[in-house]
Amino acid sequence: MVRIQTSLSTWCQKRSMKWLVLLGLVVFTECIVKIPLRRVKTMRKTLSGKNMLNDVLMEHPYRLPQISFRGSNLTIHPLRNIRDTFYVGNITIGTPPQEFQVVFDTGSSVLWVPSVFCNSSTCSTHVRFRHHQSSTFRPTNKTFWINYGAGRMKGVVAHDTVRIGDLVSTDQPFGLSMAEYGFEGRRFDGILGLNYPKQSCSRPIPIFDKLKNQGAISEPVFAFYLSKDEQEGSVVMFGGVDHRYYKGELSWVPLVKAGDWTIHIDRITMKREVIACSDGCDAVVDTGSSHIQGPGRLVDNIQKLTGAKLRGSKHYVSCSVVNTLPSIIFTINGINYPVPAQAYILKDSRGRCYIAFREKRVRTSTESWVLGDIFLRLYFSVFDRGNDRIGLALAV
């Protein structure tokens, strides 16, 4: 894996410099691009009627000139692809630093790692934070719960120095798990939440907000490139966007509401037939989810249309038919985002092919979906906190 921390002004002055980085020699041939961001209102709330919205989009398109800002920083942090299921990166906590593998998760907002006081069986198989070994550790008496789709944890809030590569957040509040449920067999120590802060006095402030408030991040933006087929090269980047990771231009999608990475889907089609979201629906863009999730009835319809058969907890198809199955197309803000069968069909440990659509564990009164890593491996994603929007482009 490669970890890259660049200073744009220094690099541009030494255009042909080769940098020796961890486990590789990386040579750049052009300046890292910083994209200027401008404030755009969430138009779905202020404009009614499809024609009016389309007229405004045509009159005021998202034109983002690729301009380099001297003195600004783009931090690119490596992630590891674990069986196309999880993408984890290393962070450190404490002084001297203790290293942890965490999932960078846009579906939650809290950073937590296991505590030495956690007695759950899952904690014993992972790295646990040894608070007594850190000179910068500061405890609190605040406790909290977090419920995830796959499990839940109970923790206590503490403060210490947290590092993501060369990004440093001092006196960062984070969670230490005291009990964990449903995380058996996981391949990571904890979770680093990148969602908006939640309105709760017991929840620690997210590390992205702390870094932004401290001025450590030039622009209130982070982005993901997720590799395919367990290949190396996955990254999360903070403070800007590196255009080398996507093709064409970014298409910007306004959030349904500020405070959550939820966007609007126009429709979901297969063989030109609408199979879901016939009247539009909402979807959370979630880097912490491995699959695409939706209402059980609609996911069952997708399984049937592909001819998949239920075996155990998964729906399987013959691997010989994968290339003949149709793409499933998500239309978002008027743009089609195809997900081919080669992307939505995965192989289990025995080499059998199964469909990576799942029923949402949390049921809601309205039709809603979760666009997880199956979707995000195909499309480079930019999370723009400054303008409450998500950018999507075809990943390289």
- Indicate if 166 belongs to the active site: no
- 3-class DSSP assignment, residue 276: strand
Q: CB under 8 Å to 276, separation ≥6 — which residues?
A: 267, 268, 294, 295, 298, 301, 302, 367, 369
Q: How far apart are the first and last CA of the chain?
A: 18
Helices (H) and strands (E) in the chain, counts: 7, 30
Burial of 198 (0-12, 13-18, 19+ CB in 10 A): middle
- Indicate if 105 belongs to the active site: yes
Which is catalytic among the residues 84, 105, 189, 388? 105
Question: Pairing mode, if any, of strands 80-82 and 24-27?
Answer: unpaired
Cα 298 to Cα 92: distance, rounded to the nearest angstrom: 42
Instruction: Please give the structure tokens belonging to residue 45.
Output: 């709330």
Q: Considering only CA atoms, which of 317, 343, 321 is closest in space to residue 330?
A: 343
Q: Which residue pairs from 59-66 have beta carbons closer than 8 angstroms and sit at least 24 positions apart in sequence?
A: 62/250, 62/251, 62/252, 64/35, 64/36, 64/37, 64/249, 64/250, 65/35, 65/36, 66/33, 66/35, 66/243
Q: Is 395 left (phi over 0), alpha (psi -120 to 50) or beta?
A: beta
Burial of 53 (0-12, 13-18, 19+ CB in 10 A): middle
Q: CB under 8 Å to 38, separation ≥6 — which residues?
A: 387
Q: Name the amino acid, one letter, at 234.
A: S
Task: Answer for the pair 313, 352: CB distance below 8 angstroms, yes or no.
Answer: no
Q: Which residues share a beta bridge with 267?
A: 331
Which is catalytic among the residues 266, 282, 286, 384? 286
Catalytic residue annotation: 105, 286
